[in-house]
A and B are shown apart, each in its own frame.
Chain A
Amino acid sequence: MAAVKNIFATRWGIIGVGVVIGVLATLLQKWGNPANMGVCVACFDRDIAGALGLHRAEVVQYMRPEIIGFVLGSLIAAYAFREFRPRAGSAPVVRFVLGAFAMIGALVFLGCPWRALLRLAGGDGNAIFGLAGLAFGVWIGTWFLKTGYNLGRATPTYPAVGWILPLTMLGFLALMLVFPQIPNEPKSGVLFYSVKGPGSQHAPLAVSLLAGLAVGFLAQRSRFCTMGAIRDLILFRQIHLFSGLLALIVTAWVMNLILGQFKPGFENQPVAHTQGLWNFLGMTVAGLAFALGGGCPGRQLFLAGEGDGDAALFVLGMIVGAGFAHNFGMASSPSGIGPHGIAAVVVGLAVCLFIGFSMRQKAA
Chain B
Amino acid sequence: MATVDARGLSCPQPVLLALGEMKKLGRGALEVLVDTDTSVENVTRAAESLGWSVKETQPEGGGYRLVLEKS
Contacts and interface: CB of A to CB of B under 8 A. Distances in A.
Interface residues of A, number: 34
In this complex, the interface size class of chain B, counting residues with CB under 8 Å from chain A, is 20 to 34
A1 B35 contact: no
B45 A228 contact: no
Given A1-B48, A3-B54, A238-B45, A87 B35 contact: yes
Contact of A363 (B11, B17, B49): B17
A54 interface: no
B20 to A, nearest CB: 10
B37 A294 contact: no
B55 to A, nearest CB: 9
Contact of B62 (A85, A90, A152): A85
A125 B12 CA distance: 31
Which one of B10, B15, B54 has the highest number of Cβ atoms from chain A below 10 Å of its Cβ? B10
Contact of A85 (B17, B35, B42, B49): B35
A180 B19 CA distance: 52
Interface of B: 6-13, 15-17, 19, 35-38, 40-42, 44-46, 48-49, 54, 57, 62, 66
B36 A238 contact: no
Contacts of A310: 10
A126 to B, nearest CB: 30
A153 interface: yes
Nearest to B44: A3
Contacts of A4: 41, 44-45
Contacts of B9: 90, 150, 153-154, 363
Contact of A83 (B16, B17, B37, B49): B37
Interface in A212-230: 223, 225, 228
Nearest to A311: B10
